[in-house]
Amino acid sequence: MILRGGTFLMVLLLFSSSVFGVKRKTKAVYCTRAMNGAWSLQRFQPLINPRAGTVFAELSFAGTVLEAARLRQFYPDHEVVFDYKFDSAGRLTALLGSVEMWGQWLGEANLYPEADGTVGSFHVKYYKPDSRDLISHPDDAEEYAAQLSHVPIYRTIESLPCGGSLQEAEKMNATQE
């Protein structure tokens, strides 16, 4: 099997990291959504304004490899988060959704899509806000947990917000210190 230069280097880096226990630094770039719906790439985490409904994606890299994306949506009393994990080929391997009612409770659910691309029924587990202690179903949870069913499905890294700018994101990531 013949590997291209970049692929060989990536395989060598992954192999050396796992064999020699080298910790890889994870860095992030951010993709923000403007009021008109357009996404733009930036190096620094955006200012969060819950009243304005701030939405952004955090793209986490280990070296030049995109490992995860976190889509965050802010509201006046809560936050909705979708965490996407990808394999080395850039395909979706895990999708977790969460709703946090600030200071009250956190709800999490596995939202990995079915073969037809939809998210079927899911079970939300509820926790105390600053711990992993399970709690019973909060009274107001249904209204907020329903937002998890509106998860955007990104099956590949190219389909992510700013997915078309991943080469630019890799360059921005490489210049971070």
User: Per-residue pLDDT tens for 101-121?
Assistant: 999 999 999 999 998 888 989
Q: What's the farthest any 2 CA atoms get from each other in the chain?
A: 59
Higher pLDDT: 15 or 142? It is 142
Residue 11 pLDDT more than 80? no
The residue-averaged pLDDT of 57-75 equals: 90
The C-alpha atoms of residue 71 and residue 147 are separated, in whole angstroms, by: 13
pLDDT at 17: 36
Q: Above 70 in pLDDT, residue 44?
A: yes
Query: Whole-model pTM?
Result: 0.79
- As a whole number of angstroms, the distance between CA 72 and CA 98 comes to 10
| Element housing 33 (H / E) | strand 26-33
- Out of 89-98, 118-127, 167-176, least confident range: 167-176
Beta bridge partner(s), residue 53: none
Q: Dihedrals φ, ψ of 80, to 5°?
A: -115, 130
Query: For 143-159, what is the mean pLDDT?
Result: 93
Region for 163 from its dihedrals, namely left if φ exceeds 0, alpha if ψ lies in -120 to 50, beta otherwise: alpha
Please say if the pLDDT value at position 38 is more than 50: yes
Region 156-177: what's the mean pLDDT? Answer: 74
- Report pLDDT for 5: 40
Q: Mean pLDDT over all residues of the chain?
A: 82
